[in-house]
Homo-oligomer: A and B are copies of this chain.
Amino acid sequence: MKVTAEICVIPMGAGVSVSRFVAACEPILEAAGLKPQLHAYGTNVEGEWDDVFAAFKRCHERIHEMGAPRVFTTIKLGSRTDREQSNDDKIASARARLE
């Protein structure tokens, strides 16, 4: 099952800045072939369900290895059976409706 998803990781007990943890996840998502698109409230990815969640698990493991005792993550996730739709398709579809 193909999915598009957004992940936003919040390390806890690791200080006020989270950018180094976010940065550590990007190569994991990239290496998994998930076409990561970083934005100000998370990173959007796309791929097969199993590949996406295996990569998200490695992100959690990596953040713990870097010293955060607790990680809080929010994920948004979409699958559809009527047609394929990439993250770029979704943006293009909304933009096309803007006057």
Contact = CB atoms under 8 A, between A and B. Distances in A.
A37 B40 contact: yes
A90 to B, nearest CB: 4
Interface in A28-87: 37-42, 44, 49-50, 53, 57, 60-61, 64, 69-82, 87
Q: Majority SS of interface residues in chain A?
A: mixed
A40 B4 contact: yes
Given A76-B74, A97-B19, A91 B53 contact: no
A81 B93 CA distance: 26
Contact of A82 (B69, B93, B96): B69
A74 B42 CA distance: 13
